[in-house]
Amino acid sequence: MARDYYGLLGVGKNATDTELKRAYRKLARELHPDVNPDEAAQARFKEVSAAYEVLTDPEKRRIVDMGGDPLESGGGAGGGFGGAGFGGLGDVFEAFFGGMSGAQGGGRAPRGRVQPGADSLVRTRLSLAECAVGVTKHLTVDTAILCDLCHGSGTNGKSKAVRCETCGGAGEVQSVQRSFLGQVLTSRPCPTCRGAGETIPDPCRKCGGDGRVRARREIAAPIPAGVANGMRVRLAAQGEVGPGGGHAGDLYVEVVEQPHDVFVRDGDDLHCTVRVPMVDAALGTTVVIDTILDGPTELTIPAGTQPGEISVLRGHGMPRLRSGARGDLMAHLDIVIPTKLDSKQTDLLRKYKGMRERDRAEVMSAQSEHSSGLFARLRASFSGR
């Protein structure tokens, strides 16, 4: 279940950056390990720090607002709330309080050059038939891949990375400064090695020391039957290779379902409109519908069919994802009244009318069965439902 990041900071979902900062500073003064040594407080501080880091990142906050969790499954260095330096979130507190974590001489371990890669997203257009049967799409993606010259090491030839001279391999530099809490030791990522703790004097000629290069490549993405518009298919380790040749992230293929000429999809059900001549509606008839999965299928329209009725073909809709079940096909019957009649047709209808003298136009009570159905449709149309 996704964490309640807003609840951790005690703010609403519409909180501004200023309100987030104010809430975080208030909690940090109470919970930071150098102020409150209680283990429960330290655990709470990690969660609060993670919540602030997530909600001040626009992309991560968007994921939270959509009901997701950007830190789920160890989505970054340090893996969620845990890990050295509070899962890579120590800098958040340092931005306000001058890095009190260094006051006890603990410090953080260098993050290292090798980092996990980011996830990637690509969209693909699918027809309704492709969504129904499943398909393998051959896609072109542009991502970072492992450098084939240095194989991720970032070095040229047999050269090696060396310990950073600026920070001595610690990955951070420290300075003493005063704050409202007194004199504290401030820690910052080393500007030379950017926190890695090592530098590459002779970088790879192809990747410039990054261990990866951007490339365009072709992949085969298997799309299962039953997918719908907006769904994403995950391809493990097909995303961006990380800095230093780190493990690749995942690639997500998002489905963009194209409109169909005949059918409108509603979940697993399909809807279509069938025009039925007035005489066929009165006498009954059959019509053939070219369904998505079963091809031409006969639909029986019973005698006496009324305008607006729906005939259902059970099990002729879309397959349910990862299930053998299928939705239904709903045929909305549109009764067609002729607008132009020749003299012979007019005479025949008049003779028919004479045979049905009891059938005549009349105003119905609002409480009658047929009138109630009409009023229900009128109310729905005026209310926009």
Give the tens place of pLDDT for each residue, 146-171.
999 999 999 999 999 999 999 999 89
Task: Report if residue 106 sits inside a domain.
Answer: no
Task: Report if residue 71 sits inside a domain.
Answer: no
Do 119 and 249 share a structural domain? yes
For tokens 């053998």, the residue is: 324
Strand partners, 295: 291
Average pLDDT of 277-304?
96
Task: Report if residue 172 sits inside a domain.
Answer: no
| Domain, as residue range, for 369 | 263-379
Do 340 and 320 share a structural domain? yes
Do 294 and 364 share a structural domain? yes
Task: Report if residue 198 sits inside a domain.
Answer: no
Residue 150 is labelled as binding a ligand: yes
Residue 131 is labelled as binding a ligand: no
**pTM greater than 0.85 (yes/no):** no
Tens digit of each residue's pLDDT (9 = 90 or more) over 191-231: 999 889 999 999 999 999 999 999 999 999 999 999 999 99
**Residue 95, SS3 per DSSP:** helix
Confidence (pLDDT) at 368 = 62
Token digits of residue 168: 């001595």
Do 350 and 282 share a structural domain? yes
Q: Determine whether 211 is exposed, middle or buried from the number of CB atoms within 10 Å of its CB (0-12, 13-18, 19+).
A: buried
Cα separation, 162 vs 130, in Å, equals 53
Do 268 and 328 share a structural domain? yes
Residue 164 is labelled as binding a ligand: yes
Confidence (pLDDT) at 376 = 59
Task: Report if residue 165 sits inside a domain.
Answer: no
Residue 296 has pLDDT above 90, yes or no: yes
Cα separation, 376 vs 185, in Å, equals 73
Cα separation, 77 vs 278, in Å, equals 69
Confidence (pLDDT) at 165 = 93
Element (H, E) at 48: helix 39-55
Do 297 and 247 share a structural domain? no
- Say which CATH number the domain at 248 has: 2.60.260.20
Task: Report if residue 107 sits inside a domain.
Answer: no
**143 close to 239: Cβ distance less than 8 angstroms:** yes
Do 222 and 282 share a structural domain? no
**Beta strands, E only, the chain:** 120-126, 135-146, 162-163, 172-179, 182-189, 198-199, 212-223, 232-235, 251-257, 264-266, 269-277, 285-291, 295-301, 310-313, 329-336
Do 273 and 253 share a structural domain? no
**Residue 293, SS3 per DSSP:** coil
Confidence (pLDDT) at 199 = 94
Q: Determine whether 271 is exposed, middle or buried from the number of CB atoms within 10 Å of its CB (0-12, 13-18, 19+).
A: middle
Do 135 and 253 share a structural domain? yes
Do 254 and 285 share a structural domain? no
Task: Report if residue 246 sits inside a domain.
Answer: yes
Do 249 and 117 share a structural domain? yes
Cα separation, 72 vs 343, in Å, equals 75
Task: Report if residue 170 sits inside a domain.
Answer: no
Which residues make Cβ contacts (< 8 Å) with residue 188, sequence separation at least 6? 94, 99, 172, 173, 174, 175
Tens digit of each residue's pLDDT (9 = 90 or more) over 322-370: 888 999 999 999 999 998 999 999 999 889 888 887 777 778 776 666 5
For residue 102, the 8-state DSSP code is G
Do 251 and 334 share a structural domain? no
Tens digit of each residue's pLDDT (9 = 90 or more) over 269-278: 999 999 999 9
